[in-house]
């Protein structure tokens, strides 16, 4: 149930972000962001992106490690444990819902108000507070979120952020054994 609520919240953010940005998802050409996730379960997540997000690789490690790759107009979701692959064709207005992106319009629509600034992973972020939690945002990228859903506190926080780095093309390739 918690997973469904977190997915629903992420989906709402995604829908509100579809205001003509096409596939230029990130404000930087390339980068890598590592997150730690805490709540009822614990996980780590690493996101690599290149060409402003036209290529994105998102590895989420917990019980089943899931690697999600966005290449232009197709999402590939690989389950590393079972060697299974799901291919999801998309249009130019759809992008990977696992990205941690949010616009000022979305923050306002969801009722988040700016409260102050704080340092997350060495980066000064704007903190926004809403009815169910807080978001720390830097250049439209959510570097930290704390939400209370069904009496469970869920926290996602960036532990490392690198921008403008060379990302190997192999990060966006589908292995042959899938």
Which tens digits make up the pLDDT trace of 47-66?
A: 999 999 989 999 988 767 88
Task: Tell whether the model's pLDDT for residue 128 goes beyond 80.
Answer: yes
pLDDT tens-digit series, residues 81-98: 888 999 988 764 454 344
In a domain, 178, yes or no: no
User: Which of 134, 64, 133, 53 has the alpha carbon at shortest distance from 97?
Assistant: 53
Least confident range of 8-12, 69-73, 118-122, 171-175:
8-12
The Cα 159–Cα 36 span in angstroms is: 7
The Cα 147–Cα 129 span in angstroms is: 10
- In a 13 Å sphere around the CA of 6, the CA atoms on its Cβ side amount to 20
In a domain, 21, yes or no: yes
In a domain, 154, yes or no: yes
Model confidence at 135, pLDDT cuts 50, 70, 90, reads very high
In a domain, 104, yes or no: yes
Query: What CATH number should be reported for the domain holding residue 61?
Result: 2.50.20.10
pLDDT tens-digit series, residues 141-175: 999 999 988 888 999 999 999 999 999 999 999 88
Task: Tell whether the model's pLDDT for residue 136 goes beyond 90.
Answer: yes
The number of folded domains in the chain is: 1
In a domain, 50, yes or no: yes
Residue 37 phi, psi dihedral angles, 5° rounding: -115, 130
Q: SS3 of 5, please?
A: helix
Q: Which domain holds residue 143?
A: 2-172
* Average pLDDT of the chain, as a whole number: 83
In a domain, 145, yes or no: yes
In a domain, 108, yes or no: yes
DSSP 141: E
The Cα 145–Cα 46 span in angstroms is: 16
In a domain, 177, yes or no: no
The Cα 90–Cα 21 span in angstroms is: 15
The Cα 108–Cα 113 span in angstroms is: 7
């Amino acid at each position: 149930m918690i997973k469904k609520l977190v997915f629903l919240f992420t989906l709402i953010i995604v829908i509100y972000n579809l205001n003509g940005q096409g596939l230029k998802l990130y404000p930087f050409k390339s980068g890598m962001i590592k997150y730690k996730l805490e709540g009822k379960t614990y996980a780590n997540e690493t996101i690599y992106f290149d060409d402003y997000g036209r290529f994105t690789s998102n590895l989420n490690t917990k019980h089943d490690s899931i690697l999600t790759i966005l290449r232009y107009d197709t999402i590939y979701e690989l389950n590393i444990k079972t060697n299974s692959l799901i291919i999801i064709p998309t249009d130019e207005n759809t992008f990977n819902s696992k990205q941690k992106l949010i616009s000022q319009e979305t923050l306002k629509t969801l009722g988040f108000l700016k409260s102050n600034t704080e340092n997350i992973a060495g980066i000064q972020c704007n903190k926004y507070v809403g009815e169910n939690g807080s978001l720390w945002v830097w250049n439209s990228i959510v570097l930290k979120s704390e939400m209370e859903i069904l009496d469970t506190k869920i926290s996602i926080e960036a532990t490392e952020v690198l921008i403008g780095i060379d990302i190997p093309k192999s990060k966006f390739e589908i292995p042959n054994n899938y």
